[in-house]
A and B are shown apart, each in its own frame.
Chain A
Amino acid sequence: MAKQQQQQQQQQAKKPKKEVTKQYEQYVKQFTPRPKYFTNCAKAFVVGGLICMAALYIQNLLMKDGMSEKNAGAFVTVILICSAQLLTGFGVFDSIGKFAGAGIFVPITGFANSMVAPAIEYKKEGPVMGVGAKLFSLAGPVLVCGISAGTIIGVIYYLMK
């Protein structure tokens, strides 16, 4: 009985606290400027589109010279990754990322950046425990989730077939 009362009391104590948090969050929202969703989307669309256009242009160029579509695609990917890595190394990528957001982050350029950025950052902690340990600190979670989701979808696809 006493325990029940205690639980009830705890629940009562908990409920208002949650409400207070919710109220305060709502209150804080009035003071916080909203992110500029529309301009951010527009910027991301233009930059992302330009990257894809450039990629397609290079692919067409390579295919014109007699490369197969599959090989040309692989080369384009490598070119995109290399340029993103170089831009990260020169310290330009973060400025582009700030401007374009998902536009540069969703293509493979974002993935390249998420590998090189920690590699530069943790160089000072040594090649093994620094770069080695931290290289996948940003890309790792993406890989794990991506591969897991891929596996699940693959199994479902297999069963449906």
Chain B
Amino acid sequence: MKNKLGKQTLQFPLLPRIVGSYSIVGEKEGKGPMAKWFDMVLEEDTYGEKTWEKAESKMLKQAMLQALQKSGREKENIDTVLSGDLINQIMSSSFMARDLSIPFLGLYGACSTMTESMILGALMIDGEYASNILVGASSHYCTAERQFRMPLEHGNQRPPSAQWTATAAGAMVLSATDKGDAAVKQGKKQQHGQEMKEVYLSHATVGKIIDTGIKDVNQMGAAMVPAAVDTILRHLSDTGRGPDFYDLILTGDLGLIGKDIALDLLSGRGVDLTAIYNDCGAMLYDKKQDTHSGGSGCGCSASIFCGYVYDEMRLGKINNALLISTGALLSTISSQQGESIPGIAHAVAVTTKGVI
């Protein structure tokens, strides 16, 4: 296996490129500290639809179509759409794809879906099964709340460790790198008078499920931390890279509590990431917005990867980043039956350098 490193890491010698991305968030997220990085902020979380599920689907579709437009490709050029969300039978994604008439693979990795779709998309391109792949993920506070928790108008108090499911979606177009393109070869392209860098996917580490036995559904961040830490350590040892190789290591939705635990666990293993580590869930909301432990949901990491990370990489402010979407693979049934929460985390290494 020439493209597998160590136990869990894959490398992509053909360097699939991110050629377009689009992020869209709800009203609350649009008032948070990351607002300026999102392509679109909804005025109302219903998005003009009758049901929350329709609103989420429309949001995801908007992200997909706009990412496609930004990439300069046509619908006909896309080989497959890979997408997922949190709603039963991945309703938002399937209904998003139903009138796209593009081959569709629905994914479920709970909140880890964004990197899951990126990994599989990159594999299809690197295996030369596809030249353009559309990947994405979404979540909506109101659809998640009614499925996993309480009706919206129910007047309950949330514990301090609870996280807020982000109303957000992100989509990317992954594309095979055209070797004949001189601009691509140099890794540079002019856009709006500014030099824009190309962004490539170079490695991916597929995570194992790790279950520490936590049963509290309001401690989701803490339940996912061991999986995230395991994936980060595994990635570093498989690739032989030191943590200083990266400008940014970003986990998906561990939240404020999870972020602290992750840093502590990593420093316990002798890896100090304080300077370069952050968590999308911890970044998405302001403390004043009273979300307690921060954001969660597929859209949380999807919108920040597609907005903030991609834009900063294009500008060359970040050159090497490790993106780790984290998922809590529980269901409403499993938690009622007293099962603990299985955590998972997949990592994708993105780089602006056109070499491995």
**A residues with CB within 8 A of B:** 17-18, 20-21, 24-25, 27-28, 31-35, 40, 88-89, 91, 93-98, 101, 104-105, 110, 113-114, 116-118, 120-122, 124, 138
Besides A32-B257, A88-B153, A138-B150, 5 more A-B contacts (Cβ < 8 Å) are A20-B212, A24-B226, A31-B257, A94-B155, A114-B154
Q: Which residues of chain B have C-beta atoms less than 8 A from A101's C-beta?
A: 157
Q: Beta-carbon contacts of B336-356 to A below 8 Å, as 1s and 0s? A: 000010000000000000000
Q: Cα distance A20–B212 when bound, in Å?
A: 7
Residue in contact with B260 in the complex, picked from A31, A98, A122, CB distance below 8 Å: A31
Q: Which residues of chain A have C-beta atoms less than 8 A from B340's C-beta?
A: 21
Known contacts: A24-B212, A124-B51. The answer to whether A105 contacts B155 by CB under 8 A is yes
Interface residues of B in 121-176 (CB under 8 A from A): 146, 150-161
| CB-based contact B160/A33 at 8 Å | yes
Known contacts: A18-B213, A24-B214, A31-B222. The answer to whether A97 contacts B157 by CB under 8 A is yes
Known contacts: A24-B213, A28-B222, A121-B146. The answer to whether A34 contacts B160 by CB under 8 A is yes
Q: Which residues of chain A have C-beta atoms less than 8 A from B260's C-beta?
A: 31
Q: Cα distance A157–B146 when bound, in Å?
A: 41
| CB-based contact B153/A17 at 8 Å | no
Residue in contact with A94 in the complex, picked from B153, B213, B214, B264, CB distance below 8 Å: B153
Q: Cα distance A101–B156 when bound, in Å?
A: 7
Q: Cα distance A33–B292 when bound, in Å?
A: 10
Instruction: Please provide the 10 A-B residue pairs with the shortest distance between their CB atoms, ordered closest to farther.
Output: A97-B155, A21-B213, A121-B151, A117-B151, A117-B154, A117-B153, A28-B222, A33-B160, A94-B155, A24-B212
- In the complex, the chain A residue whose C-beta lies closest to that of B265 is A27
Q: Cα distance A112–B146 when bound, in Å?
A: 18
| CB-based contact B151/A118 at 8 Å | yes
Known contacts: A94-B152, A124-B50. The answer to whether A25 contacts B160 by CB under 8 A is no
Q: Cα distance A89–B151 when bound, in Å?
A: 12
Residue in contact with B155 in the complex, picked from A21, A32, A98, CB distance below 8 Å: A98
Give 22 pairs: A residue, B residue, CB < 8 Å, sorted on A: A20-B213, A21-B214, A24-B212, A24-B214, A28-B219, A28-B222, A31-B261, A32-B160, A88-B153, A89-B153, A93-B153, A94-B153, A94-B154, A113-B153, A116-B153, A118-B151, A120-B151, A120-B152, A121-B146, A121-B151, A138-B150, A138-B151
| CB-based contact A97/B212 at 8 Å | no
Q: Which residues of chain B have C-beta atoms less than 8 A from A18's C-beta?
A: 213
Interface residues of B in 197-221 (CB under 8 A from A): 212-214, 219
Most buried by A among B153, B156, B161: B153
Chain A nearest CB from B262 CB (Å) reads 10
Most buried by A among B151, B156, B159, B257: B151
Q: Cα distance A17–B340 when bound, in Å?
A: 12
Chain A nearest CB from B215 CB (Å) reads 9
Residue in contact with A40 in the complex, picked from B153, B157, B222, B226, CB distance below 8 Å: B157
Q: Cα distance A33–B157 when bound, in Å?
A: 15
Chain B nearest CB from A136 CB (Å) reads 12
Chain B nearest CB from A161 CB (Å) reads 39
